[in-house]
Amino acid sequence: MRLAKVSALSFDLDDTLWPFGPSVARAEAMLRAWLIEHAPDTASILPTQQTMSELREEYERSRPDLTNDFRALRLGSIRLALARANADVALADPAYEVFYAARNRVEFYDDALPALAWLSARFPLIAVTNGNADLRLTGGGEFFRETLSARAFGIAKPEPEIFHAAAQALSVSPAELLHVGDDYHLDIVGALNAGLQAAWVVRDPQPEVARATQHPASAHLTLSDLSMLCRALGGPDKLP
């Protein structure tokens, strides 16, 4: 695909700039350890780390109205664990802070920070996320003008409104905003349907990636890392 004029870029965060799985697994392990230390009876409710994820999923099924509010879902699952253990549910708030701090200790992909440094020197960047990562805590926030989260905005990807709001925040037309993300449906289909350009980051190709997609491959870039994005925008073969 050949890009049209690009005046600004929007970025997804989790699994685009860093792997999400390891950070949330570490955060859940720290949360479980904290709960067992401060409310020992939760040990029987949370016999394994996997139980943390299962409890979170159980609570989400019971509260579909909170689908895009990851803080509320996690807090609710913590309160559920405490209540089942007949422990003090007031511990949920400090427990969540332990979880959230660990969730934001991410390890950027090797190409991410050099690419963001090169891109932000040439284009305004905005983060557009359905998640709850905080760039002030993860690092990398200096490269972005703004973060637009589904929880704060009230509308999540792939709905066009959140993409249009990103373009408006950077004072560019949707057609001149290039959205970069790893989720084909949320990021790529969503961006293209909103009139943006799109770059699909596929770091670990799986057989299903080759499946027929809603938009032809010619409609978007497909990248194995962000250094390829820089080259597509006129950057050097190798970033510093």
Q: What does the domain layout of the chain look like in residue ranges?
A: 8-19+107-232, 21-103
Number of H helices and E strands in the chain, helices first, is 11, 6
- How large is the C-alpha radius of gyration of the chain? 19
Residue 220, Cβ neighbours under 10 Å: how many? 24
Query: Phi/psi at 205 (nearest 5 deg)?
Result: -60, 135
* Residue 63, burial from CB neighbour count under 10 angstroms (0-12, 13-18, 19+): middle
The answer to whether 91 and 112 are in contact (CB under 8 A) is no
Given a cut of 60, whether residue 217 has pLDDT beyond it is no
Given a cut of 80, whether residue 131 has pLDDT beyond it is yes
Given a cut of 90, whether residue 72 has pLDDT beyond it is yes
Alpha-carbon distances of 162 from 104, 142, 189, 222, rounded to whole Å: 23, 22, 13, 22
Geometric angle at alpha carbon 87, from 85 and 91, rounded to 5°: 125
Q: Mean of the pLDDT values across residues 97-119? A: 97
**Closest of 173, 168, 165, 113 to residue 144, by C-alpha:** 113
Query: Phi/psi at 143 (nearest 5 deg)?
Result: -90, -10
Judge if 8-19+107-232 and 21-103 fold alike in CATH terms.
no
CATH 1.20.120.1600 correct for 21-103? yes
What the block records as the tokens of 240 is 């510093």
* Residue 237, burial from CB neighbour count under 10 angstroms (0-12, 13-18, 19+): exposed
**Cis ω before 158 (30° cut-off from 0):** yes
Q: DSSP class of residue 238?
A: S
Q: DSSP class of residue 177?
A: E
Mean residue pLDDT of the chain comes to 93
Query: In the prediction, which pLDDT does 211 show?
Result: 52
Amino acid type, 57: E
The CATH number corresponding to 8-19+107-232 among 3.40.50.1000, 1.20.1600.10, 3.10.620.30, 1.20.1630.10 equals 3.40.50.1000
Measured between alpha carbons, how far is 156 from 24 in angstroms, rounded to an integer? 21
Query: In the prediction, which pLDDT does 212 show?
Result: 44
Query: In the prediction, which pLDDT does 147 show?
Result: 98
Percent of the chain with pLDDT over 90: 84
pLDDT in tens, 52-61: 889 999 999 9
Given a cut of 60, whether residue 199 has pLDDT beyond it is yes
The answer to whether 123 and 9 are in contact (CB under 8 A) is yes
Please give the distance of CA 15 from its chain centroid, rounded to a whole number. Answer: 7
| Model pTM score | 0.91
Amino acid type, 133: A
